[in-house]
Structure 1
Amino acid sequence: MTQLGNPGEFLVTVAIPTYNRREWLERAIDSVLSQGHPEVLVHVFDNASADGTEEFMRGLVSSNPRVRYTRRPENIGWLLNYSGAMRAVDTPWLIGMGDDDWQLPEGIAALLKPLADNPDVGMVIGRTQRLAEGVKVEVYPDDTWKSGRNELHEAIPSWAEHGIVEWQSILISRKAFEEVGGLDHTVGIATDINLELKLLLKYPVFVVPQAVSVYNYHPGQESAKLNVDTIDQFLSIVHLFRRAARESGNPSLKRASKTFNRRWTKVFVNRLPKVARLPGLLRAVKALAIDFRCPGAAAKCAARWVLYKPWCAWKRLSSPRPAPVQS
C-alpha cells in the first residue's frame, strides 16, 4: 500500500475513500481546501482506481502539505476501504466524506466553532443539503432537531424518527470513535447507522443550525442498494438499541427504539417486495415480525410481494414486443 503526504500536526482529517471518480474527487477535495483552514487535512484512500486518480493525487500531494494519499494495491471493496480510511485517521477529529459529495463554503468553520466550549461531545452535527440530479430536494436534519448542545440521549428521539445524518456533515471525536469500537463492517451498508447510534448512546452531541455539506443522490450508490441481506445486518442495531433502552430505564429511549423500528420497517416494506425472492422474503418477514416487533409490517411486506410478482409478469406480457427482423 502506497502512502504519500506530510505527517504534520493537524486537528481534523477529512477522509475521502474513492474509486474511479477522478472528476468528482477533485470537486470534493477542492471544497475542503478552498475553505483555507490550516488545521484541516484531506486524506484520500484510493481503492486501486484506473482513471488517472493516482497521477492527479501525486501531483496534488507534491504541491499541498494539507493533502495525504493512500493507494490500495487492489480493490478491497467500498466498505473495507471506508472503514480502513476511518480507522487510519490519527488527528483528534475526523470527517468521513464520499468522493461524490462536497463541503459548503464555511461549513467546516461551522463544525469547528462549537469545539471551544464543548470539547467533550462525541459529534458535532451539521445539516446537509440533499440533491437529486442537481436539484435540492431537502435540508436535513430539519428544525425538529434541537440546535446547540444536546446532552446524553437527548438527540436520540429525533434521530430515531427522522433518520441518519450524512457523514460529511458530522465532525467525530476520534477518541469517541475508538471507544465505541469504530466502524463495524459486518453490518454492511448500515455501518453508518450503527456508528451514529453507538455515539449517541454514549456522548452528548452538538447540532449546528446551518447546512455544511451537500449529499449527491445519483444512480449506482451503495447506500441505495437495500436488499434482504440489509435487513439481516440491521438486526444487531435493533437489538443494541433495545438493550440500551432497557438497561437505561429511560422511557424516551424506549419510545425512540420503537420509533426506529417502525421507521425502518416502512423502508423495507417499500423496497423488499421488489427485489426479494421467496426464501429471502420469508427471512425478512420473520425478522420484521419477531426482531423488529412489527407484525403488521411483516404482513404488509408479504402481501405486497404476492401482489407485485403477478403485476411484473403481466407487465412483461403486455409490453409491446419488437417487430421481427426481415431477412
Structure 2
Amino acid sequence: MHSRTPLVSVYITTCNRLEKLKRALRSVKDQSYQNIEIIICDDASADGTQAYVEGLIREDARIHYFRNDTSKGACAARNLGIFHAQGEYITGLDDDDEFLPERISQFIEAWDNKYSFICCDFIERFSDGKTKKYYNTNSVEKLTYVDMLFDNVASNQIFTLTERLKAIGGFDIRARRLQDWDTWLRLSHKFGEFIRLPIATYIMHHDHGIDEKRVSKSYPLSSSLIDLRDRNKDIYIDEHLKFMNFIISTEEKKAKPIDSIIWSIKRRTPKYMIKYALQSFSGNK
C-alpha cells in the first residue's frame, strides 16, 4: 500500500469535440485521488475548446492547456501532453471516454516499479445504453511484450512512470492506426512485464456522430498491421515475424488453406481455419 501521494499527469487529447471533452474532464476532476495535473492537448480545435479550457484554468490550477495551431494528428497531440507532463506517473484519456472515480487510486495502490506499466479491464458503452466489459479478468494477470505482439491486450490507455513513456519517445507520429498497441508494445519490450488488473475503471463510449471522422474506418487494418510490423522490426523476428505475416495475409484475404491449418494447430485455435472457410464461402478469396 502506498502512503505517499505522488503527482499523476493525465493527458487528454481533443479535436473539435468540446461536449465530449467536458464529460471526460469531469471524470478526471471527480477522481478520488486528487494530486493530479490535467493536460489538455488540443489538435487545432475550432469549436470554442480553447476559450472553454482557458476559463477552467482560471478556476483550477491543476489544468494545463497546450495547442497545435494546425492539426498534426492524434499521436503528435498526445506527445504534446507527455513531454509537458510534470507528474511522476502518467496516464491518458481520450476526449470521448471517461474515467470511473477510483481509476487513479487503484493504479497508485497497485503500482510496483518492477512492472513496465499497469492496465485494467474496461467497459464499452453504446448509444443504445447497452454495455460490454473487457477483458473479464478474474485475477491480476501478468503479461509480457510477447502477449502484445498480435493483439493489444492492454486496451487503449495504461498507467506508468512518466520518464518511461518519455524514454521510448512517446507515440510514434508515423502511426495512422493502432497507435496505442504500438506504444504499449514498445514500452513492454523495453521495460519488461506488465500487469492487468481485474477491475474496470474506464468507460469507452461509442456515441460518435456520423459526421465525425474516424481513422479506424478509413485506413485498412491490413495496412495498419504492415505498418506496425515494419516500425518494430527489432521486435517482430523469426517465428513471431512469420505469424504476423500470416495474420496480415488473412486480413488481405490472401492466406493459403495449408497455412490456415498449420497456424490453427500451432496456436491451438480453430479460428484461422474458420476465417479461411468463411472467406472462401463468401466469395471474397
Q: Which has the larger radius of gyration?
A: 1
The 3 A distance-change label for structure 1 pair 143 and 10 is: closer
1:212 has 2:229 as partner: no
The 3 A distance-change label for structure 1 pair 136 and 174 is: farther
Residue type of the alignment partner of 1:98: D
Give the conservation status (yes or no) of the 8 Å contact 1:238–1:261. Answer: no
Give the conservation status (yes or no) of the 8 Å contact 1:44–1:68. Answer: yes
Question: Residue 21 of structure 1 corresponds to which residue in structure 2?
Answer: 17
Please identify which structure carries the higher helix content. Answer: 1
CA displacement at 1:158 relative to structure 2: 4.8
Question: Residue 173 of structure 1 corresponds to which residue in structure 2?
Answer: 161
1:234 is aligned, of 210, 224, 228, to 228
1:261 is aligned, of 233, 240, 244, to 244
User: RCO (CA 8 Å, sep 6+): is it higher in 1 or 2?
Assistant: 2
Residue by residue over 1:123-151, the C-alpha shift from the partner in whole angstroms, topping out at 9 and shown as x without a partner, is: 1112111223254443223327x506x3x
1:182 is aligned, of 135, 151, 170, to 170
CA displacement at 1:28 relative to structure 2: 0.2
CA displacement at 1:209 relative to structure 2: 1.5
The 3 A distance-change label for structure 1 pair 191 and 99 is: same
The 3 A distance-change label for structure 1 pair 39 and 223 is: farther
User: How many pairs does the alignment contain?
Assistant: 262
Q: TM-score, normalised by structure 2?
A: 0.76
The 3 A distance-change label for structure 1 pair 104 and 134 is: farther
Give the conservation status (yes or no) of the 8 Å contact 1:31–1:102. Answer: yes
CA displacement at 1:259 relative to structure 2: 10
1:80 has 2:76 as partner: yes
Question: Residue 199 of structure 1 corresponds to which residue in structure 2?
Answer: 187
Question: Residue 69 of structure 1 corresponds to which residue in structure 2?
Answer: 65
Residue by residue over 1:255-287, the C-alpha shift from the partner in whole angstroms, topping out at 9 and shown as x without a partner, is: xx4797389548x62xx57xxxxxxxxxxx59x
Residue type of the alignment partner of 2:167: E
Give the conservation status (yes or no) of the 8 Å contact 2:32–2:102. Answer: no
Q: What is the alpha-carbon distance in structure 1 between the residues aligned to residue 150 and residue 14 of structure 2?
A: 31
Residue type of the alignment partner of 1:25: L
Residue by residue over 1:204-263, the C-alpha shift from the partner in whole angstroms, topping out at 9 and shown as x without a partner, is: 3232211011112345433444415423312225634333xx6xxxxxxx6xx4797389
1:40 is aligned, of 5, 11, 36, to 36
Give the conservation status (yes or no) of the 8 Å contact 1:190–1:233. Answer: no
The 3 A distance-change label for structure 1 pair 79 and 182 is: closer
The 3 A distance-change label for structure 1 pair 47 and 178 is: closer
CA displacement at 1:103 relative to structure 2: 0.1
1:163 has 2:163 as partner: no
- Structure 2 unmatched runs, 5+: 264-271
Give the conservation status (yes or no) of the 8 Å contact 2:27–2:100. Answer: yes
Give the conservation status (yes or no) of the 8 Å contact 2:120–2:199. Answer: yes
Give the conservation status (yes or no) of the 8 Å contact 1:132–1:217. Answer: yes
Residue type of the alignment partner of 1:112: I
Question: Residue 147 of structure 1 corresponds to which residue in structure 2?
Answer: 140
Residue type of the alignment partner of 1:216: H
Question: Residue 125 of structure 1 corresponds to which residue in structure 2?
Answer: 119
Give the conservation status (yes or no) of the 8 Å contact 1:15–1:97. Answer: yes
Q: TM-score, normalised by structure 1?
A: 0.67
Higher alpha-carbon deviation: 174-183 or 193-202: 174-183
Q: Kindly report the root-mean-square deviation, in angstroms, between the aligned alpha carbons of the 2 structures.
A: 3.7
The 3 A distance-change label for structure 1 pair 263 and 93 is: farther
Question: Residue 99 of structure 2 corresponds to which residue in structure 1?
Answer: 103
CA displacement at 1:23 relative to structure 2: 0.6
CA displacement at 1:91 relative to structure 2: 1.8
SS of corresponding position for 1:45: strand
Residue by residue over 1:82-133, the C-alpha shift from the partner in whole angstroms, topping out at 9 and shown as x without a partner, is: 2333333232211121100000121221111112xx1332211121112232
SS of corresponding position for 1:41: strand
Give the conservation status (yes or no) of the 8 Å contact 1:166–1:215. Answer: no
Residue type of the alignment partner of 1:208: L
Residue type of the alignment partner of 1:204: E
The 3 A distance-change label for structure 1 pair 225 and 109 is: farther
Residue type of the alignment partner of 2:206: Y
SS of corresponding position for 1:189: coil
Percent identity between matched residues is 19
Residue by residue over 1:169-212, the C-alpha shift from the partner in whole angstroms, topping out at 9 and shown as x without a partner, is: x1122222233332222232122112111222232323221101
